[in-house]
Structure 1
Amino acid sequence: MANLTPTQDPETLNFTSSTSKTVTIKGSHKFKIQGYSLTKGMGVGKYICSDTFSVGGHSWNIVFYPDNGDGNKNDESGDNNVSLFIKLVSKCAEDVRILFEFLLLDQSGDKWYKSRSHFRRMQKDGPQMSGPHTFNEVENILGFCPLCKRSELEASQFLKDDCLTILCTVGVVKTSLDVPKTFAQPLSLSDLGQSYVHLLESRDGSDLSFEVEGETIYAHKLILSTRSPVFKAQFLGPLKEENTQCIKIEEMHASIFKALLNFIYCDVVPDLDLECVDTTMTQHLLVAADRYGIEKLRSLCEARLCENVAIDTVASSLALAEQHGCIQLRSTCLEFIIRIHHMDWAKSTYLAWA
């Protein structure tokens, strides 16, 4: 058996691969403590808590202890200290790893300072902000105990108008594994519409025909009945017509009827979205859609006509809107007429004064 050497091309070997991705999802919360002086003397272990905020899919609180936050009454520093913590509030099935940082706002109100840089009197085994730190339902709180002596805080630049403002930034560390799908097949666009168009054009299985402007067009009753309530009543309803083998369509161009059938079969009107489509054709197609109760096609035609209202088409489009109850088209045409009227008035006024 040949030895595998580092110089061999990995692409020639039979191997699998995966990628571990670790990212940090960050969020911040500003906690303002007004009336700081009134918090003194709350007692050892008593605290002030911020509102709950969410970062990385977990809920957190900022916890401030004005009197010795570790709850140790035997601590010689006693209630002369203040402490500051970040607490995991939500339940978690697995450990949560985070980075966190506290900033304090100075009296000017426009500069933030790192609390760790300013107050360096941390316990020897206190948290190091380089992290990440692990949180869970048992070990769910971490921070500075103490942050500093209360006298230091009160003499610092961070108390203004008896108010202390704290900004806590949390970065939740998340790791995911990206594994290539070896047997994944590329997704292709559906060709269902094209299949139905082929069915229409090939006449396969057709069971009725239409005569439009002397041209014979073949179709399928079941498909037409599924898409149009008018055709359904005509072919399958209690008052269905007896002779439906060849139906003569009056007052409609063959090209419009073909476009109507194309939409019925594949939900698309060829070239309707192209600029070259005649507004008159779109108007005729709207009439056909309304005639056979095909609401989606009717709405598409109305939207297209609204986008292309012009001086030479506004009158016919407005009349069409009135006849077929197209509220949006009617509104668009009236706004266009009013705007043109104002422009003509402004033009005539300008020429009169010129």
Structure 2
Amino acid sequence: MMTISSSFVKFKLDVTHNYAVGEGFTKHVSDGEQQWMIRCYPRGFWEDDDGEYITLGVGLLAKSNSHKFIVHAYLMTKDGGASVASIRSTNRTYPIKKSSNFYGYGVLLRHFVKRADLESMYVIDGMATIVCGIVIFANGEIEPGPIPVPHSNLGEQLGVMVGCDDSSDVSFSVDGEIFHAHRAVFAARSPVFKAELLGSMAEATMSCITIHDIDRMTFRAMRHFIYTDMLPTWDESSSSTEQFQKLFVAADRYALDRLKLMCAQKLWENMSVQMVATTLGYADMYHCPELKSRCLDFLMAESNFRKVAVTDGYLELKQDFPSVMEEIKKRIET
């Protein structure tokens, strides 16, 4: 059984009060999910017990009929400890109520404790302290839980291979710097590299391939992603924004779609009045509708548009991206 909730309550019994058989008092308890009540009969509930026993009744109102529960009750000794001898438990339940919203169940501890034992062991200043607890379980057998499986650390393991000269089988010459790599890893990550390195292109047989139009920092960042599936760590500055723009372009060139969207998110996080027009041009040129729509929304905000319209980036946007300007014009008109 699986435990759903448990609650315990402590209450006082005034042994000097002259209760009749079948008379008692009630204690209400709620744990936020279930409601339950304790009914204490200081001289018992049935006449044939001759008033010799204290009887406890516990009722549960639950929102489900698929629960079972166990009731525990005991007395506190005079020195404040729990009386092991008085502990009583039961899980024998019976229905007591059913409505459209709740299911009611009851448990009875008919012979909880003999009244003759109270005075000598449990009563202080005419009061005995009773502790009652209820533990609620899900009904039915609980299937074994899943075997814990650690999170994948493939990126960390492959990351160890970055730049390993002894195991690499291809090199890239970028902006005067040599980067060692592994054909299989690059080919698995990028369909463009796969065609170059494992296909019929000339690069498939070359031990060192020269990459043009990408600077060394951008290629290093792209290689880091290829092995680890993570972005490099760059300071939050205007230079990092420029680096993410370059990495965005490289990701598009090599069909690294996840990297492209990760860069798009970084560009969006660093969006500003000064950068939005330039970023909008990148989003349009390199086919990133997710970034483009956000740039347009940012640009069209009334508080931003007038400031953006006087930037150099916006003037370049007007000159180089007439289709984007048409979209902006339509938004203004609507």
TM-score, normalised with respect to structure 2: 0.50
Alpha-carbon distance in 2 for matches of 1:300, 1:242: 29
Q: Which residue of 1 aligns with 2:103?
A: 170
On the 8 A contact 1:289/1:298 being kept in 2, the answer is: yes
Deviation, structure 1 residue 336? 1.8
2:96 to 143, 146, 156: 143
On the 8 A contact 1:97/1:174 being kept in 2, the answer is: yes
Q: Which ranges of structure 2 fall in alignment gaps of 5 or more residues?
A: 7-30, 36-61, 71-89, 106-135, 140-147, 308-334
Q: Which residue of 1 aligns with 2:5?
A: 23
> Helix, strand or coil: the match of 1:174?
strand
Post-superposition CA distance 1:46-97 (Å, at most 9, x none):
xxxxxxxx94573xxxxxxxxxxxxxxxxxxxxxxxxxxxxxxxxxxxxx53
Q: Does 1:323 align with 2:305?
A: no
Deviation, structure 1 residue 308? 1.7
Higher relative contact order (CA 8 A, sep 6+): 1
1:211 to 164, 173, 178: 173
Segments ≥4 residues shifted beyond 6 Å: 186-189
Q: Which residue of 2 aligns with 1:103?
A: none
Count, aligned residues: 201
Q: Which ranges of structure 1 fall in alignment gaps of 5 or more residues?
A: 1-19, 29-53, 59-95, 100-130, 136-141, 148-165, 177-185, 346-354
Alpha-carbon distance in 2 for matches of 1:322, 1:343: 19
Change (3 A) 1:167 1:262: same
Alpha-carbon distance in 2 for matches of 1:22, 1:241: 63
On the 8 A contact 1:98/1:170 being kept in 2, the answer is: no
Q: Which amino acid aligns with 1:312?
A: Q
> Helix, strand or coil: the match of 1:252?
coil
Q: Which amino acid aligns with 1:323?
A: M
Change (3 A) 1:223 1:284: same
Structure 1, 217-226 or 309-318: larger mean CA deviation: 309-318
Alpha-carbon distance in 1 for matches of 2:294, 2:220: 29
TM-score, normalised with respect to structure 1: 0.48
Change (3 A) 1:213 1:340: farther
Alpha-carbon distance in 1 for matches of 2:207, 2:271: 40
Deviation, structure 1 residue 265? 0.6
Q: Which amino acid aligns with 1:256?
A: T
RMSD over aligned CA atoms reads 4.0
Structural mapping, 1:161-240, within 5 Å: 168-170=101-103, 173-174=136-137, 191-239=153-201
Q: Which has the higher helix share?
A: 2
On the 8 A contact 1:98/1:171 being kept in 2, the answer is: no
Q: Which amino acid aligns with 1:213?
A: D
Q: Which residue of 1 aligns with 2:249?
A: 287
2:219 to 211, 233, 257: 257
> Helix, strand or coil: the match of 2:163?
helix
Change (3 A) 1:254 1:284: same
Q: Which amino acid aligns with 1:170?
A: Y
Post-superposition CA distance 1:250-280 (Å, at most 9, x none):
11110100100010011112215x6346111
Change (3 A) 1:215 1:132: same
